[in-house]
Homo-oligomer: A and B are copies of this chain.
Amino acid sequence: MDEPALRQLLDDVRSGALSADEAVRRLRRLPFADLGFARLDHHRTLRQGLPEAVYGPGKTPAQCAEVVAELLAEPSGSPVLLTRADPGQVEAALARNPSGVQAAAGVVVWRPAPPRPGRVLVITAGTADLPVAEECTAVLAAFGFAPQLIPDCGVAGVHRLLATVDELADADVVVVVAGMEGALASLVGGITPAPVVAVPTSVGYGAGLQGVTALLAMLASCAAGLTVVGIDNGFGAACAVARMLA
């Protein structure tokens, strides 16, 4: 039941063409989705400025290009992101929607949001964690943030982390990207009072279990109040930051 139909129903009530009983009956049978969609759209409006994200895996390059095009056709002006895209998907999406920019490996951004306040620090334990961190910073930038990326602060050389103590003190949110044993998250959590979003990565030797070790370690951290996202999920961490700084 779209708006014209609803208005017609009310007109029919007014004109007496429809009894109140029947109108109540019809209105109560309104499916969830019709009104509900409107309500959720209202919510969506509240989120204006957040990207629509197209997850690449499992889609053909043509599908990627088409979904991006549809999203860009919406007048909302929200950012549009393609994530976890392979080179063919990136190429197809950019060929059809040439205004985009590849912001990181597998990440393409269209219509980035205007700059927003919020000091976001993204720290990695090692250089091998950089691809995940860069997915995170690329998405944050699409949201309008200007994150600061500090790589290679692994706890094996704790002095590197301690050198960032001022940035940690000033940050509004800290994203910690770490594989292996993921200890950096605990250490950062003990130093900064800011929210910490920990991203375990699949970096490391056999006992790292493809990121499961870092994931478990972050969840079991002795530093209270850490929160964790899924393994290698730089995109999710950026979205968590955006929720926190909305």
Q: Report which of B33, B127, B186, B242 forms a contact with A162, defined as CB distance below 8 A.
A: B33
Q: Report which of B36, B40, B131, B243 forms a contact with A225, defined as CB distance below 8 A.
A: B243
Number of copies of this kind of chain in the complex:
8
Give the residues from 197 to 246 in chain A that come closer than 8 angstroms, CB to CB, to chain B. Answer: 197, 200, 202-233, 235-236, 238-244, 246
A220 & B240 in contact (Cβ 8 Å cutoff): no
Closest to A235 in B: B224
Q: A43 contacts which chain B residues (CB < 8 A)? A: 169, 191-193
Q: A220 contacts which chain B residues (CB < 8 A)? A: 180-181, 204-205, 207-209, 213-214, 230
Q: A117 contacts which chain B residues (CB < 8 A)? A: none
Closest to A83 in B: B224
Q: A182 on the interface (CB 8 Å rule)?
A: yes
* Closest chain B CB from A33 CB (angstroms): 3
A186 & B181 in contact (Cβ 8 Å cutoff): yes
Give the residues from 13 to 72 in chain A that come closer than 8 angstroms, CB to CB, to chain B. Answer: 13-14, 16, 20, 23-24, 27-40, 42-43, 46-47, 50, 53, 55, 57-59, 63
Q: A101 on the interface (CB 8 Å rule)?
A: no
A180 & B24 in contact (Cβ 8 Å cutoff): no
Q: What separation, in Å, do the CA atoms of A125 and B186 have in the docked complex?
A: 12
Q: A160 on the interface (CB 8 Å rule)?
A: yes
Q: A162 contacts which chain B residues (CB < 8 A)? A: 31-33, 36-37
Q: A3 on the interface (CB 8 Å rule)?
A: yes
Q: A194 on the interface (CB 8 Å rule)?
A: yes
